[in-house]
């Protein structure tokens, strides 16, 4: 085994800077590793951890061993570690609002703690008061009529993605996944034994997939499309006519749509959020809506999300959940119900702060030499192209990918950004603007100092 490892390491070393998909030592495990040359000639740790991952395949199941760690969390963790070590790091990695959960939500949770009913197991699919709040909110915010029997409450939106894909997918199924995609989507698709069919989009197309692209990728194995608007990471918001066209195409071909609406309230300028099953009601029997309180109410840590779908899918997901997590924490559910039943004032305030920051970000990023940044329409991310920066030498270091660029920017400017490779979009990077205005200006300014101004 160690001979194999040495051989593999030297082979890898010769390919530094590349992305590689390989099959290690006949384990049958496929491992995607990122190769970074270090100035001292050694191999960066994520290569070694990639190999360790592959080598541990006989200890860890292949299914789980093949899961890549969340790149967005990895950047945030590294930036936090540098901060803890006393470095003045500015992090653009976080996918969470930099605001506090509204007081009335916190108060509801405090009260719920004192209620002994909340100290016990509750229904797997959610507390009735939260389910009722989700029903009312769905009608209020998007005009979607929901029966409480057609929804379950999950441990955050991420868990809704997982439950839904486990309930829908069989090995051999294909899932259409427009890229740049949220880094989490491909993993639960693969865990279900299905394949993600990536459909690239770019800034020229507004990062929106077209019906022609979907149709060209459709095969007899196509089971579902993952659709998200506003999008993480691009901030793209699909206009009404495009959502209708995609929904009608899905109905025509019996393709399921999993539509992630977690950023529904964070749209700017003329952009408007529309829910696909509201625009195309015929889709309802093959549509699952995913949502949660994390982004709208600054409640990322509370872990409450939900999925709305046809009764058989929701029942299947509920059965799965009954053997994995059971009910979501009752206190968090009561807090989420209070949030949904309350006003939308807090999100209106956040939206106006994000709106201001997205303009600053747009202006400042476009002033950096080689950076092209479209104006964000929704969510709280800028997604600029660094294609003209890759290939340059920066601070004496040659940069051949956005992964390497992010490393150089973190090392030299102490600014954390998430490279586009994490979203299936090399050449781009994601910068969250969920941070204070001063830090934002300082952070983008440091990048401009490092990369040069145009
Ligand atoms: C597109 C998208 N969907 C779902 C989620 C899940 O959010 P949570 O699990 O925090 O509710 C996120 C979080 O970043 C997201 O960006």
Q: Could you report the per-residue pLDDT of 84-115, keeping only the tens digit for each? A: 999 999 999 888 898 999 999 999 999 999 99
Of the CA atoms within 13 Å of residue 342, those in its CB half-sphere come to 22
Q: Cα of 240 to ligand 1 centre, how many Å?
A: 23
Taking residues 259-271, report their average pLDDT.
97
193: left (phi over 0), alpha (psi -120 to 50) or beta: left
CA distance 119 to 187: 34
Chain centroid to CA 51? 25
Tokens of 252: 């025509």
pLDDT in tens, 112-121: 999 999 999 9
Q: Is the pLDDT reported for residue 32 higher than 70?
A: no
- Residue 31 pLDDT more than 70? no
Overall average pLDDT of the 359-373 stretch: 96
Q: What is the number of the ligand 1 atom nearest to the C-alpha of 72?
A: 14
Residue-range domains of the chain with CATH: 2-65 (no CATH), 71-96+346-451 (3.90.1150.10), 121-341 (3.40.640.10)
What is this structure's pTM?
0.86
Query: Is the distance from the beta carbon of residue 232 to the nearest atom of ligand 1 less than 6 Å?
Result: yes
User: What number does the ligand 1 atom closest to the CA of 161 have?
Assistant: 4
Q: Kindly report whether the peptide bond that precedes residue 230 is cis, defined as omega within 30 degrees of 0.
A: yes
- The response to whether residue 184 sits with its C-beta less than 6 Å from ligand 1 reads no
- Rounded to 5 degrees, φ, ψ at 431 are -125, 115
The DSSP letter of residue 334 is: H
Lowest mean pLDDT among 30-39, 179-188, 235-244: 30-39
pLDDT at 76 (0 to 100): 74
CA 290 / ligand 1 centre spacing (Å): 9
- For a substitution probing ligand 1, which of 71, 158, 306 has the most ligand atoms within 8 Å of its CB? 158
Q: Of the residues 294, 297, 328, which should be mutated to test ligand 1's pocket, given the most ligand atoms within 8 Å of the CB?
A: 294
In angstroms, rounded to a whole number, what is the distance separating the alpha carbons of residues 339 and 395? 48
Least confident of 10-19, 150-159, 204-213, 340-349: 10-19
Closest C-alpha residue for ligand 1 atom 7:
157
- Measured from the Cβ of residue 115, the count of other Cβ atoms closer than 10 Å reads 11
Residue nearest ligand 1's atom 4 by CA = 157
Would you say residue 6 has pLDDT above 70?
Answer: no
Task: Report the nearest atom of ligand 1 relative to the CA of 231.
Answer: 1
Q: Does residue 52 carry a pLDDT above 70?
A: no
């Amino acid at each position: 085994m160690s001979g194999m490892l040495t051989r593999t390491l030297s082979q890898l070393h010769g390919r530094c800077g590349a992305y590689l998909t390989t099959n290690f030592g006949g384990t049958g495990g496929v491992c995607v590793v990122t190769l970074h040359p270090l100035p001292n000639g050694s191999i960066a740790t994520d290569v070694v951890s990639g190999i360790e991952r592959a080598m541990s395949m006989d200890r860890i199941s292949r299914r789980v061993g093949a899961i890549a760690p969340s790149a967005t969390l990895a950047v945030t963790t590294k930036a936090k570690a540098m901060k803890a070590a006393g470095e003045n790091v500015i992090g653009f990695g976080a996918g969470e609002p930099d605001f506090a959960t509204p007081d009335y939500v916190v108060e509801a949770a405090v009260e719920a703690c004192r209620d002994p009913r909340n100290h016990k197991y509750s229904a797997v699919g959610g507390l009735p008061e939260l389910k009722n709040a989700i029903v009312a909110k769905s009608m209020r915010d998007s005009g979607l009529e929901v029966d409480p029997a057609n929804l379950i409450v999950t441990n955050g939106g991420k868990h809704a993605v997982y439950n839904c894909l486990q309930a829908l997918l069989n090995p051999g199924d294909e899932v259409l996944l427009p890229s740049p995609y949220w880094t989490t989507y491909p993993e639960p698709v693969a865990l279900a034994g299905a394949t993600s069919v990536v459909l690239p989009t770019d800034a020229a197309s507004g990062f929106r997939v077209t019906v022609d692209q979907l149709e060209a990728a459709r095969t007899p194995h196509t089971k579902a499309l993952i659709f998200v608007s506003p999008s993480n990471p691009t901030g793209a918001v699909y206009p009404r006519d495009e959502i209708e066209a995609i929904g009608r195409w899905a109905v025509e071909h019996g393709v399921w749509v999993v539509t992630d609406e977690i950023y529904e309230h964070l749209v700017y300028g003329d952009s408007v959020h529309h829910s696909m099953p509201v625009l195309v009601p015929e889709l309802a029997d093959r549509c699952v809506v995913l949502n949660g309180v994390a982004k709208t109410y600054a409640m990322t840590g509370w872990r409450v999300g939900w999925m709305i779908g046809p009764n058989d899918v929701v029942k299947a997901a509920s059965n799965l959940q009954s053997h994995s997590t059971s009910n979501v924490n009752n206190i968090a559910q009561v807090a989420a119900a209070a949030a949904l039943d309350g006003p939308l004032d807090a999100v209106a305030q956040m939206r106006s702060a994000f709106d201001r920051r997205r303009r600053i970000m747009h202006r400042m990023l476009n002033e950096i030499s080689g950076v092209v940044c479209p104006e964000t329409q929704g969510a709280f991310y800028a997604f600029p192209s660094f294609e003209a920066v890759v290939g340059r030498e920066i601070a004496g270091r040659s940069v051949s990918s956005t992964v390497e660029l992010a490393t150089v920017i973190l090392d030299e400017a102490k600014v954390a950004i998430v490279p586009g490779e994490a979203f299936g979009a090399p050449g781009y990077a994601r910068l969250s603007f969920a941070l204070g205005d001063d830090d934002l200006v300082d952070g983008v300014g440091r990048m401009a100092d490092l990369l040069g101004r145009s």
